[in-house]
Structure 1
């Protein structure tokens, strides 16, 4: 059992460089961040600011060029079921049904058939897809596919869910409904969520903390704790006051980069 005082994720002075043809791309520069168990943290910033790169380092898909990425004070060396990733394009197996997509991780971990069934039943119910358990991804709407993707991560016993603009391709009404559903799942499961978005409004609606990143090479510009009570009203004066503050921080970086 990890001590309560140890963050679930620590990013300590992380730099990340890529070689692209003959150029060196500096994606992250001296980025540091600590996330406590159970927090919902949103990362916002301009395109190319390193948000997704930072998420992939947390997932173990990328290694830092310098600095350290830790989970429970241990170096993140590669992907692990305890850190689940949800992508904008769903990344479901098209040849598997909803039930089999969700059960893929538990089956791969060697759970018995009965235990896999109980796990799948639990998470199909959690995301409200009982009537679509035997359907295939091509038979589902975008919102349903994203619910399957979330359930698949949770069924794999993830402690940390990393979400890379998961609702970016959805229509506004579906997006709002899934935001509400994600918050309900988060509050019921006590998961830790790190969520990348371009939308300031989405970040304020969802997060305990909103981390603003500078344009590339990405640095942590500010870490903003939100004290808004839940459920949050996007039309309230308090909500819009925070939106103006965060918008000013983002736009000041755009202006500096353009100058």
Structure 2
């Protein structure tokens, strides 16, 4: 019997209506993600990456098709799917500890369990010294670590990441990429990650899904066979980058023709 994927996107389309205008943001998207897989979505602006992510998160319902988790329809947001945004989305009035503990506390978990969970994730993201700081006292990289920990502390099985490192400087971005991979390998999480960067997608993903606009759709999928840890300066890495870049640009060239 075939293994049930944790996520199964079947012929999903999304159309928005603005006044008399209908905008088709996503057309006939098909994608399966296995438990523990790290999948990156790449493509130009307007190709439906964030729309697809929001449908999986349960923030929006598809106009056509089905979005399933463990073979059951996704009908709205739930703790088993956590979203990490580029702008962190932390509560500014709460400390690091309180932000991380917000989900378990809201779900009525016992105080001792919430405290234990918070301490575990504060240690996991290396922010013990800043546990009582507020978001405005943290760097961008620290804020993003807290945002990831907050999702994990809420028992997420799937982490949905919408260009989470896009606003960070290059050195912080590279460090957080390494930390995210380490966290992913230690926890067995399933990650669906949106990025504009071909290099970031190849560095992180088991599989890269290329999307194209007009309307947004999945154009192709590419399994990344490079062993981890991956060296972005190696000839093998750069060969994959050239191939994927050529595919991405050929999709866009066809669309423009």
Task: Give the secondary-structure state (helix, strand or coil) at the position aligned to 2:233.
Answer: coil
Partner of 1:79: 77
- Distance in 2 (alpha carbons) for counterparts of 1:249 and 1:17: 27
Q: 1:218 to 1:163 in 2, by over 3 A?
A: same
Q: Segments of 4+ in structure 1 off by > 4 A?
A: none
Work out whether 1:128 is the aligned partner of 2:126.
yes
Q: How does 1:9-28 map to 2 (within 5 A)?
A: 9-28=7-26
Work out whether 1:52 is the aligned partner of 2:50.
yes
1:200-250 C-alpha deviation (Å, 9 max, x unpaired): 000000000000011231211111111100000001111111111111111
Unaligned ranges ≥5, structure 1: none
TM-score where L is the length of structure 2: 0.98
Q: Contact 1:215/1:253 (CA < 8 Å) preserved in 2?
A: no
- Distance in 2 (alpha carbons) for counterparts of 1:175 and 1:72: 32
Q: Contact 1:213/1:221 (CA < 8 Å) preserved in 2?
A: yes
Q: Could you tell me which of 148, 151, 174 is aligned with 1:150?
A: 148
Partner of 1:254: 252
Task: Give the secondary-structure state (helix, strand or coil) at the position aligned to 1:14.
Answer: strand
Q: How does 1:185-204 map to 2 (within 5 A)?
A: 185-204=183-202
Q: Could you tell me which of 97, 100, 109 is aligned with 2:95?
A: 97
Unaligned ranges ≥5, structure 2: none
Partner of 2:179: 181
- Distance in 1 (alpha carbons) for counterparts of 2:88 and 2:47: 23
Q: Contact 2:219/2:251 (CA < 8 Å) preserved in 1?
A: no
1:88-138 C-alpha deviation (Å, 9 max, x unpaired): 000000000000000000001101111000000001111111000000000
The alignment covers a number of residue pairs equal to: 257
- Distance in 2 (alpha carbons) for counterparts of 1:226 and 1:35: 15
Q: Contact 2:44/2:212 (CA < 8 Å) preserved in 1?
A: yes
TM-score where L is the length of structure 1: 0.97
Q: 1:33 to 1:143 in 2, by over 3 A?
A: same
Task: Give the secondary-structure state (helix, strand or coil) at the position aligned to 2:114.
Answer: helix
